[in-house]
Amino acid sequence: MPILHRAARIEDRIQEFREQRARKRGLLPTVIPYAGYGAPGWVRVLGRVMLTREPRSSRPSVRGWRSFTSVAVNDVNVIVTIGKTEHRVHADRGGVIDVRLKSRLSPGWRTVTIRSDDPESADGPAVEAPVYIVDGDAHFGIVSDIDDTVMVTALPRPFLAAWNTFVLDEHARTPTPGMAVLYDRLTKANPGTTTIYLSTGAWNVAPTLSRFLGRNLYPRGPLLLTDWGPTHDRIFRSGRQHKVESLARLATEFPDVKWLLIGDDGQHDEEIYGEFALAHPDKVRAVAIRQLSSGEAVLAGGRTKAEDYSSRTEVPWIYGPDGAAIASELERIGVL
């Protein structure tokens, strides 16, 4: 085991204290399921174990600021059932379940069940976690950023970030004009499209983001988020590293899929996508960057000063302020 950073050790002590108090109040481990994905022969199961008042048979959810104050269960075992096969797996320091398992699930949306293996709630109900199994014949997929790409948030501005994260619910968030229609057209033009939403946001807001995407008619797809806080070697997690590693993993897991990478010019998407396109040109169909308006760019802390990666690779790069403009450019280059 790696030696934990001092900040991580402090976090663990605080977490242990909070968990002990929560258990004394009668709170029990409950699994919060997230959408996973896979391919014929394997599946990646995602979820998180939190302490709640009582386990529920319906899909549990922790809303708003409570998702950040709820107590995660450190280093807990859970049982994942795929078909008739049970797998005992281990959640990480933050209670996050992220495990790849063998499976015989057929392509499309399927479900697996997860239940806590904690001694105090061993008889608790299992919850269903959706998983999307990519067809082996699928060759097109979408990787989409969330903040300022499908949802207008101006996330980097600290006060707005806190307001959007802790106060507003999915009803008050604003969808980016035309993007839902664009994604719908892309999935209809390419049957079997895998849509994955890749963000630096915390797993705490996954239920809120899922409801927002569904309410605004975005295609259903797994969320790849991160767990805020210290890691074993640094005081705070790197959102950029999370995106880089997630893209590299997708390239390995789906070698025959070419990805349409969609992001914005307000953070680091151009740089991250550009480096990925240079390293894996055969894995990228195109890169589409939403251009922030002048007002959005000011709130977001300005536009990135990324170098021109379009001149260094044959991968098509397109830009547009909204979904309609990006759709026109994708039509021009034959992607749509």
Tokens 């859970």: give the residue. Answer: 78
The torsion angles phi and psi of 173, rounded to 5 degrees, stand at -85, 150
- 130-148 as b/e: b if 16+ CB within 10 A: bbbbbeeebebbbbbbbbb
Angle at 212 between CA 211 and CA 217, to 5 degrees: 100
- CA end-to-end span of the chain: 48
pLDDT tens digit string along 35-53?
A: 999 999 999 999 998 887 6
18 against 143, higher pLDDT: 143
The CATH number that domain 140-332 falls under is 3.40.50.1000
Residue 132 CA: distances (Å) to CA of 46, 129, 191: 12, 10, 14
Q: Where are the alpha helices (DSSP H) in 91-163?
A: 158-162
Q: How confident is the model at residue 65 (pLDDT cuts 50, 70, 90)?
A: very low
CB 93 within 8 A of CB 24: no
Q: How far apart are CA 245 and CA 32, in angstroms?
A: 24
CB 132 within 8 A of CB 43: no
Q: How far apart are CA 278 and CA 314, in angstroms?
A: 9
Q: How confident is the model at residue 306 (pLDDT cuts 50, 70, 90)?
A: low
The CATH number that domain 6-133 falls under is 2.60.40.10
Q: Where are the alpha helices (DSSP H) in 126-168?
A: 158-162
The domain limits of the chain are: 6-133, 140-332
> Is 140-332 the same fold as 6-133?
no
pLDDT tens digit string along 108-159?
A: 999 999 998 866 655 567 899 999 999 999 999 999 999 889 988 755 545 5
Q: How far apart are CA 333 and CA 244, in angstroms?
A: 26
Strands (E), 227-323: 258-264, 284-290, 317-320
Q: How far apart are CA 85 and CA 112, in angstroms?
A: 10
Residue 87 CA: distances (Å) to CA of 77, 81, 102, 223: 10, 6, 9, 23
Encoded tokens for 247: 């893209």
